Chains A and B, each alone.
Chain A
Amino acid sequence: MKKVFARPTSLKDTPFHYCAGCGHSITHRLICDAVDQLGIRGITIGVPPAGCAVLAYNYFDFDMLEAPHGRGCAVATGIKRTLPDRVVFSYQGDGDLAAIGTAETFHAANRGENITVIFINNAVYGMTGGQMAPTTLLGMTSTTSPPGRSAPLDGHPIRMSEILARLDGTAYIERCAVNSPQNILRAGRAIRKAFQYQMDGAGFTLIEVLSQCPTNWKMTAAESCRWVDEVMAKTFPVGVIKDIGKGEKHAD
């Protein structure tokens, strides 16, 4: 019988610690699929964040270097500049990337660092227990916005991908979701494409993943998948935000 589905070889045979329905584990798997398909396990170096994915190195079976909270893009820059022929990616949540690490993210993108960022947007600080994130939707409750996020008090959800797309150093930015089989397949293709761009020397690539967090959203897994489409994607529309075209080298 033909084998059509298996655990990627670059994904360790370890049960995920993530909550049921969480988008992290799906995204981990998609990254490993892409690494396997491109045959780059031996030259890939990942940079996990602080947050729920802080233990990502328990799952990814390739080299990993932990970054302090928010500094993924700076750490990845240091690795990539030292080892330009490796595939280097940082894996960051919304607080990590768009709050405490905004400067590092923005400037790495602006320098056109030839790295890839996997940006997990679940509109909430997950690991610390459901506080308001820079991407928390207006009106959405969290432990630090109990009456719901209020624009005059808390500001607006940040569309980081759209902001970064305006920078000349960015090559490819796409917002995906992992809430349906179709979206998962699409996200997998986007991650693979981003790695391929990096291997082609295109510049900064970022894949934003709308990632359900049923625990902190206080929903069932199924509800959270629907919520991504029905609510979250209204503020964060999925699709390609920037694509300079494959193989087009970033200007020196």
Chain B
Amino acid sequence: MQIKTVFAGFGGQGVLMMGYSLAHAAMNEGLHVTYLPSYGAEVRGGTANCTVAVSDEEIASPVASQPDFIVAMNGPSLMAFQTRIAPGGAFFLNSSIVEGRPNRADVTVFEIPAAGIASELGSPRVQNVVMMGAYVKATRLVSADTYLKSLKSILGGRKKAAMDVNRKAFSAGYDSID
């Protein structure tokens, strides 16, 4: 098993945090994992993406030429990555913001109105965690329990209230898909 996911969106949407938290959870599940952020001049234009490779054996290349999953937090991300996704892969679209839909018939599409759900929770910033709720449920790469524990340890010393809203966001995303 080797699964590669690309997380992409605007700067400020918490895209790198999504990848980092997944990588953390995968590590805590005892899996091999590599997290690769985009860096340098590439991230100065206001977009961000990162790649997470999760595997039960040593990870060869950290680069995803054909990602299994793509989490697109905005429209440009969908456009940028839809040609690269592996046949049989899955898109996770932030459907409150992403208007287009993939032009690929050979992939699954999950539409999660993450930005909307986060706004309803009164905290637009947690749209990334809403998305992770849906992602974790659909991919089963890591358990919800491991993910939340990892998220808590990443947030570390921050206020308990912050973790509470993140927990709510995760549950809302988790329950948003079947």
A touches B (Cβ under 8 A): no
